[in-house]
Structure 1
Amino acid sequence: MTTSERPPKSPVQQVLGQWPLASVLLGVFAGLVVVAFSHWRTGSTLIGLSITMGGLFRLLPNRRVGLLAVRNRALDTIVLLGVGIGITVLAWAVPALRN
């Protein structure tokens, strides 16, 4: 084995290496749970911030972001930041219903 080769990662290391994607998915899931309990603005904000966080994670090197890297870095970052900020802005721009 040469010095440039790395030993294979264990299954635990492979799973822990997916923390950026897991944290985004966990935030989106938590936002959906909050929405299900009739707090749509808070839940939508949590979803938008989680996706925005994914866009910021995508700025990390490819070997650090794992499965969060789908396309090239610039496109992933622009799309995730755009969607995340868009959801957050819309969550606060929609007026609340008054009964």
Structure 2
Amino acid sequence: MTAAPDERPPKTWWQQIAGQWPLATVLTGVAIGLAVVFLGHWRAGSTLVGLSITLGGLLRLMPQQRVGLLAVRNRALDSIVLLGVGIGITILAWWSPPSQ
């Protein structure tokens, strides 16, 4: 019994890990933003966290096969939630008065 010509061979371990780059990009941005907040620059760090989550909302608009673990529910709900939270965090970071 041979495989059909349109079937792909299974992905290797490295291909499976590299296929999660959208989620890794968002989590890296959030981690760097939190590190910046920890260093005392809360506005810049919060902005980076918000922009990273907003980027996640934009990346979620890609096809289902490309977003990997970034997909939780359907595309519209994931995008709306991520964009709303990301834009909200960014606006709050710039709306709050600077610390004295």
The answer to whether the superposition gives a TM-score over 0.5 is yes
CA distance in 1, matches of 2:43, 2:99: 11
CA distance in 1, matches of 2:22, 2:40: 28
- How far 1:4 moved relative to its partner? 2.8
CA distance in 2, matches of 1:3, 1:50: 40
Partner of 2:23: 21
Partner of 2:41: 39
- How far 1:6 moved relative to its partner? 1.1
CA deviation vs aligned residue, 1:25-54 (integer Å, no higher than 9, x gap): 000000000000000000000000000000
Partner of 1:58: 60
CA distance in 2, matches of 1:80, 1:3: 39
Length, aligned pairs only: 98
Partner of 2:79: 77
Moved over 4 A (4+): none
* Residue type at the aligned position of 1:45: T
The alignment's C-alpha RMSD in Å is: 0.6
TM-score normalised over the length of structure 1: 0.97
Partner of 1:88: 90
CA distance in 2, matches of 1:71, 1:80: 12
Unaligned runs of 5+ in 1: none
CA deviation vs aligned residue, 1:58-93 (integer Å, no higher than 9, x gap): 000010000000000000000000000000000000
